[in-house]
């Protein structure tokens, strides 16, 4: 018997940054995001002894240890070690574990958090734990952000767990996920009009997030105004989607990018700015760097008739066009018999 899992990566339209503590506790955050057909995968094969083997296909690293051993964090697959420590009791039997993500860390698609969600799903199936979607997302957040101290927000874990188009509110004492019933015509048009462009560089999101948090806690007016504006835009974008006003949606995406840059000077750089302005001149209505910023994927929204011109302009600047479509489902786990 083998256990499998997969969880989707996401793109954020607006509100990113308002999900990063301490902002939710103090003012309440909200984001609008959607999952795409890129995934983190996991596979677990139970063993008859107490040995655990872990293989990361992305990093080319394998580790082996006994489940009864204390699991020190040594920089080698600590995300996986932390998940095992949290969910698997020391008297359990061992297993062989393989993980893989279709997007490397630092690309802005929430890859590390999505891997954690896929892991939690895999391990909870192995341990027969009756966790709800909210509990899975919260556990993934706690392991990554609190147990390991990796800086970041909450939206990635909830997006990967629930899947689809979601408006997510982050309050002082709870998270509220509102799935949006986007008409199929709108989803098809979004698939036609969106493009992802890999800028050629990854980034350390923790450095950008730390700078934003420091600015917020110091009460810098520009960062405060940017975060509050992002909340308002995320609500407007949600309404534009539900009302099928996609030109408004594209324009608001541009406004969200302008507001996002107010949070930290590390979010953008001259190369990103040049790519974005070139895309706008070629016909893009709006766009933004996915994730914390600084590199990774630039997502652009343009009318389909101009999409090829935008793509050509991005290629001339060294960008790599990456096709995708929106994914309806969140975390999935299943079992197969050998």
User: What is the DSSP code string of 245-267?
Assistant: -HHHHHHHHHHHHHHHTTS-TTS
Written in H, E and C, the secondary structure of 107-127 is: CCCCHHHHHHHHHHHHHHHHC
Residue positions annotated with a catalytic role? 156
pLDDT tens, 202-241? 655 667 888 888 888 888 899 899 999 999 999 999 999 9
CATH 3.30.230.10 placement within the chain: 2-181
* Superfamily of structural domain 184-322: GHMP kinase, C-terminal domain (3.30.70.890)
pLDDT of 156 reads: 94
Integer angstrom CA distances of residue 62 from 55, 180, 220: 4, 40, 45
CATH 3.30.70.890 placement within the chain: 184-322
What's the gap between Cα 130 and its chain centre? 24
pLDDT at 291 exceeding the cut of 90: no
pLDDT tens, 74-97? 777 888 989 999 999 988 999 999
- pTM value surpassing 0.85: yes
CA within 13 Å, CB half, 274: 9
Two structure tokens written together for 338:
């050998």
Two structure tokens written together for 70:
């204390």
Q: Which residue has the tokens 């690293």?
A: 61
Q: Is the distance from CB of 144 to CB of 158 less than 8 angstroms?
A: no
Average pLDDT over residues 11-15: 94
Which residues are CB-neighbours of 149 under 8 A, at least 6 positions away? Answer: none
pLDDT of 105 reads: 64
Torsion sign, CA atoms 154, 155, 157, 161: positive
141 versus 105: which is more confidently predicted? 141
Q: How wide is the angle at C-alpha 159 spanned by C-alphas 277 and 24, nearest 5°?
A: 85
Q: How wide is the angle at C-alpha 28 spanned by C-alphas 25 and 29, nearest 5°?
A: 120
> Which 3 state secondary structure label does DSSP give 334?
strand
Q: How wide is the angle at C-alpha 248 spanned by C-alphas 28 and 319, nearest 5°?
A: 90
Q: Which CATH number fits domain 2-181: 3.30.300.130, 3.40.50.300, 2.40.30.10, 3.30.230.10?
A: 3.30.230.10
pLDDT of 327 reads: 95
Count CB atoms within 10 A of the CB of residue 46: 13
Rounded CA gap, 19 and 28, in Å?
8
Q: How confident is the model at residue 27 (pLDDT cuts 50, 70, 90)?
A: very high
């Amino acid at each position: 018997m083998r256990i499998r899992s997969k969880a989707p990566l996401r793109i954020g339209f607006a509100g990113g940054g308002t999900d990063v503590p301490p902002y939710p506790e103090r003012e309440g955050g909200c984001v609008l995001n959607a999952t795409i057909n890129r995934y983190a995968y996991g596979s677990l094969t139970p063993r008859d002894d107490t040995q655990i083997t872990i293989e990361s296909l992305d990093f080319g690293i394998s580790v082996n240890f006994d489940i009864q051993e204390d699991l020190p964090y040594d920089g080698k697959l600590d995300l996986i070690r932390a998940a095992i420590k949290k969910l698997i009791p020391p008297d359990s039997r061992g297993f062989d574990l393989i993980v893989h993500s279709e997007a490397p860390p630092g690309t802005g698609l929430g890859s590390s958090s999505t891997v954690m969600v896929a892991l939690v799903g895999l391990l909870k199936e192995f341990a027969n734990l009756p966790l709800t979607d909210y509990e899975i997302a919260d556990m993934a957040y706690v392991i990554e952000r609190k147990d390991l101290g990796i800086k970041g927000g909450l939206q990635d874990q909830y997006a990967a767990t629930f899947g689809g188009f979601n408006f997510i509110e982050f309050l002082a004492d709870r998270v509220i996920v509102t799935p949006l019933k986007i008409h199929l015509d709108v989803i098809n048009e979004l698939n036609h009009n969106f493009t992802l462009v890999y800028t050629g560089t990854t980034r350390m999101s923790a450095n950008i997030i730390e700078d934003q948090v420091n600015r917020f806690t110091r009460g810098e007016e520009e960062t405060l105004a940017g975060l509050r504006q992002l909340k308002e835009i995320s609500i407007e974008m949600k309404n534009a989607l539900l009302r099928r006003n996609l030109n408004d949606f594209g324009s608001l995406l541009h406004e969200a990018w302008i507001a996002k840059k107010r949070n930290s000077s590390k979010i953008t750089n001259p190369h990103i700015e040049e790519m974005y302005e070139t895309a706008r001149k070629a016909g893009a209505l709006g766009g933004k760097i996915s994730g914390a910023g600084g590199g990774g994927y630039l997502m652009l929204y343009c009318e389909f008739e101009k999409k090829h011109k935008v793509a050509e302009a991005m290629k001339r600047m060294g960008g790599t066009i990456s096709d995708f479509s929106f994914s309806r489902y969140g975390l999935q786990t299943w079992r197969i018999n050998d």
